[in-house]
Amino acid sequence: MTEFIFPIRVYYEDTDSGGVVYYANYLKFMERARTEYLRSLGFEQDELIAGDGVLFAVRSLTLDYLKPARFNQLLNVSVQLAEIGKASLLFAQRVEFAAGDRSHILCAGHVKIACLDARTLRPTAIPPRLLREVTSER
Query: Which one of 14, 16, 46, 52 is the catalytic residue?
Result: 16
Give all strands of the β-sheet with 88-99 in edge-to-edge order: 4-9, 74-84, 88-99, 102-117, 54-65
Is 101 known to be catalytic?
A: no
The whole-angstrom separation of Cα 55 and Cα 48 is 7
Using DSSP bridges, classify how beta strands 88-99 and 4-9 pair: parallel, antiparallel or unpaired: unpaired
Catalytic center residues? 16
